[in-house]
Amino acid sequence: MAFVKDFKWKHGMNVKELVDSYQNIGFQSIELKKASEVFVKMKKNNAKIFLTFTSNMVTSGLRGFFAQLIKLKMADVIVTTTGSIEEDIMKANGEKFKIATFNEDDVELHEQGVNRIGNLLLTNETYMRFEDLMLEYLNKLYEKKKRWAISDFIKEIGLMLNDEDSILYQAAKNNVPIFCPAITDGGLGFHLYLFQQKHPDFIIDPVQDFGNILLSTSQDENKGVIALGGGLSKHHAILCTLLNGGANYAVYMTTAHKTSGSVSGATTNEAKSWGKVKDESDVATVIGDVTITFPIAMIAALEQLKEEGLLK
């Protein structure tokens, strides 16, 4: 049986040492330590890692970290929402998002053509410039072929970008598929609709992509899920693992709680009832702001993997 130990800071402490101390503090710190351990196990046991996240995390500065994880081979399949695709493209083309507060005057922001995501701000002008970019990309894609699976469509755009901190760029460069099943749920969907009115033979096919994600893994392959936030991105990945025998490893990080009965709040243990996660799998569920919990847990894992020579 483990016992509570008093935490103490020491000069020169690295992130791994900090997280190691979490296993004896209590409450969510213990789950965060478990999460870091599961990240290490996924990599050591050659699991196919499904990394899922919601678009607000790409609005934040986590975007560059996700791109870095792709480069470090810590993500083999990505599932996300439309806002992630849009905002990655925006940032890759030089757009800057401002930091504000959670208590802005939202009526005044609206009058100024500014949109708030928590304590971050995006202008309407950003979306207008994005519209021009998308028209350019869509014309190029239409010239290549008329029908695209969503993941192929996203990869092709990634190949047009030139930003080491871009998720789409790194995914395309490293052959990591990005699945976005609800691609119409955002400004990008509107641009696709308008383009299709002029080019009715231009098709973005979500059903073909459902087959692509199912065939991205197999019953026999070790599978790991890192679900940051919830909703569609999380569910699409764990549905894939369900149909392929269940995940061997799973870490859920969310602000939602299990009492809501939602996918976002569903724990890794609840996933076992569906077979999305195997009965004997290594799991952790961390409740808290992902912009805080994920970098700490993942960096501790990266430091251990680097020490053991398991990172390139």
Q: For residue 56, what are its two tokens? A: 């607000």
Q: How far apart are CA 301 and CA 299, in angstroms?
A: 5
Write the DSSP assignment of 280-299 as a string of letters: EEEEEEEES-HHHHHHHHHH
The string over 61-87, giving b where at least 16 C-beta atoms fall within 10 Å of a residue's C-beta and e elsewhere, is: ebbbbbbbbbbbebbbbbbbbbbbbbb
Q: Which candidate in 48, 71, 91, 276 is catalytic? A: 276
Q: How far apart are CA 101 and CA 230, in angstroms?
A: 24
Residue with token string 């251990």? 304
The DSSP 8-state label assigned to residue 236 in this structure reads H
Residue with token string 């053991």? 308
The string over 163-192, giving b where at least 16 C-beta atoms fall within 10 Å of a residue's C-beta and e elsewhere, is: bebbbbbbbbbeebbbbbbbbeebbbeebb
The string over 20-46, giving b where at least 16 C-beta atoms fall within 10 Å of a residue's C-beta and e elsewhere, is: bbbbeeeeebbbbbbbbbbbbbbbeee
Question: Do 29 and 6 form a contact (C-beta atoms < 8 A)?
Answer: no
Please say if 276 is a catalytic residue: yes
In Å, how far are 72, 139, 213, 283, 293 from 302, measured between CA atoms?
9, 41, 27, 18, 14
Write the DSSP assignment of 130-153 as a string of letters: HHHHHHHHHHHHHHH-SEEEHHHH
List active site positions. 276
